[in-house]
Amino acid sequence: MQLDSKNLGRLRHVADPREVWTSESGDFTPWLAENLDVLADELGMTLTVVGTEVLVGQFRLDIQAEDDDGRVVIIENQLERTDHSHLGQCLVYAAGLEASTVIWVSRQFRDDFRRTLDWLNERTDQGIQFFGVEVGVVQIGEQGPRAPVFEVVSRPNDWAKGVKSVPAGSSGSVATPLNEVRQDLFAEILDQVNSSRPAVRVPARNGNNSWITFASGPFGSWGLAQIQDGRLRVEAYLDSGDGIRNTALYDKFEAEQAIWNERVGFDLAYERLEGRRACRIATHHTPVDVLALTPGAKEELVSWAVEAFLAMYDALDKLLRSTAKSIRDANVATGLEPRADAVGHDA
């Protein structure tokens, strides 16, 4: 591999994603369902797979997912250029499942379809949003490993939607000065995390919330939050989309908590979250008032969060991912969960 004076190679695009994924429904969709965090991180979202090849009317949706608030997200895939058929299917799926987010993934977006998504985003209210995403494959040099890459070519106009009135009775979060400061803090923490672990992408900030999630995977996602008593929390949020799978994953790690406490270097909090689908493994900083942090106190807090996350991530992330997949495979084998490829693409 030829490198320049800074030992940097050259990133090049592989022309056709079909060199990697030979089939849209039988190859690309199962891969994306297992690696949804790659797409979710690019969108600045946390997504959990609910099902694949989901029957909607006379069609089958490639991937049904949900966001952190449990809202429906639909993902329609193409390994070809965008066309009228898939645009129509996206709208059918959105209507049939009452989706809050539509994600259309294609090898190449024609300008007229990109403009159509932009038009829909401009003229719909905050209850629905549309994303157009191009998928490609890159590698360094001629012999380097290949990697998937997603490029968002159409996204919601958040400013235009933000000025529209919220329906009466809406339970949506409200942007506050406190949450803006929290998001600034989270961004500073994650910038340092990204410098040490480039695979952990910094998601888009959201001043409406006291938390942020990132680096999602088959087990759920990683997150930062400041909870009501003022403590800052670093967590692995176990939510694979299935309560049985979540509990089995949690039970395995809780049973071995002495091992994991030793590996991360501090005691972890294991929270079953009774009555909820998800579970949590976390650590907490003592309560702080983020609006009144001195520069020194803020530096200490950021340092603590970065070190805590890196310790937990390095010890747990790969095993959480592989164990979640193993549990799902076992559940499928015993009939507790349906096979992802149990039905064909066409109804």
Helix (H, G, I), strand (E, B) or coil at 216: strand
pLDDT at 335 (0 to 100): 74
pLDDT at 105 (0 to 100): 96
The answer to whether the CB of 206 falls within 8 A of the CB of 214 is no
pLDDT at 307 (0 to 100): 98
- DSSP 8-state assignment for residue 276: S
User: Model confidence over 81-137: pLDDT tens digits?
Assistant: 899 999 999 999 999 888 989 999 999 899 889 889 988 987 776 578 899 999 988
Regions of the chain short of the pLDDT cut 70: 1-15, 125-126, 141, 157-175, 206-208, 336-347
Q: What is the pTM of this model?
A: 0.55
What domains appear along the chain, each with residue ranges and CATH number? 17-162 (3.40.1350.10), 177-333 (3.30.1460.10)
Buried b (16+ CB within 10 A) or exposed e, 261-294: eeebeeebebbeeeeebbbbbbbbbeebebeebe
pLDDT at 277 (0 to 100): 80
